[in-house]
Amino acid sequence: MAWKTLDDMDFAGKRALVRVDINVPVENGTVTDTTRIERIVPTVHDIQDKGGKVILMAHFGRPKGKVVPEMSLEIVAPAVADVLGLPVTWANSDYADAVSEMEDDEVLLLENLRFNPGEEKNDEGFAKRLASLGDIYVNDAFSAAHRAHASTEALAHLLPACAGRLMAEELSALEKALGTPERPVVAVVGGAKVSTKLDLLGNLVGKVDHLVIGGGMANTFLAAQGINVGKSLCEHDLADTARDILGKAEKAGCEIILPRDIVVAREFAAGAENETVAPNACPADAMILDAGPATVVYISDVLDNAKTLVWNGPLGAFEMAPFDAATNAAAAKAANLSKAGKLISVAGGGDTVAALNQANAADDFTYISTAGGAFLEWMEGKTLPGVAALR
């Protein structure tokens, strides 16, 4: 690894400034999903077990450098205490006083970093103020690593720095998926629009052996080949771009897998009357809402021979039956192969996690990233400031 982990640091008698992502959903003053808090537990407990004091730094919402009471992390502190099983004290703006009064088993949670305009500006002055509170910097927030902010980038240069357990786990999984993967490598990329994933597709065709394109994105590629896609969601203005990606893939020896059959309907609604036809047989008054069974069979055959899978995005309108069939079937196949130890599978992105959970496949994937933008930028081959600062 090109970065240090908790195991490389001496925390005895030290204060650890730990950047975490606990930007959790809250309704009526109560945290409704503690998943992100649960994922920081190993890092917090390990630092305490090594004799260190833990000071948590996080953001909450987008207050844009101003104090917004409803975005105060004071709301989240009780949930953090419950999940950690430790006393958690929330520190308003008087960081230094709160740190000096910390008990050994106590966890200190600093107020929303984004209340200070210096956070998002990556201000060195604000970073130095934070650095004065601790002895060691730990970044355990991969999901914020694509932001060059004071707590994710500047601070890492001011103190001995390392990756937390969650960050190290995430980076290791992504390295196995796209850095030095076992081949053949398959990528599944779905979603509504090609325009949101141009960099992703452009990077993947040079790194993977098979690229499955699904969802509305597939319609754009079909249309670029002269196929009538009826009333389907399609970015016709990106036809040249789609053809360029197909050309790059051919030169790189990457097989682009588009639907071999399609499920079409006249209305975008759950349970809508539908039929399965060839890709070039979409009725003019219909829309493509899913890949068909023949496509799933082909994808399954490709996965049988693969060693590594990277997944981002659904194959169809997974939010409603029966147009979730292709996503569910392909996800189940990947999950079974992963469970059997035959496939390394890494998935990430909001819709992706939701789709895999819906398919009851997420638990058997090798790794599920909860990061959205950071996961995508990593797949796009971009340098993440928060990761680079740890090297």
Which residues are designated catalytic?
A: 36, 193, 350, 373
Cα–Cα distances in Å, from 332 out to 147, 179, 255?
Answer: 34, 25, 22
The CA distance from 352 to 347, in Å, is 7
The CA distance from 74 to 58, in Å, is 12
* 386 Cβ neighbours under 8 A, 6+ residues apart: 139, 141, 142, 144, 145, 146, 147, 148, 152, 153, 156, 374
Answer for the pair 252, 267: CB distance below 8 angstroms, yes or no. Answer: no
Q: Token match 């196995």: residue? A: 176
Answer for the pair 3, 387: CB distance below 8 angstroms, yes or no. Answer: yes
Sheet holding 344-348, edge to edge: 255-257, 210-213, 185-189, 308-312, 344-348, 367-369
CA R_g for the chain: 23
Residue type, 173: A
For residues 134, 43, 342, 328, the Cα torsion angle rounded to the nearest 10 degrees is -100
> Which tokens hold the place of 205?
């065709």
Phi and psi, residue 317, nearest 5°: -80, 75
Phi and psi, residue 143, nearest 5°: -65, -15
CA-based angle 321:298:204, to the nearest 5? 90
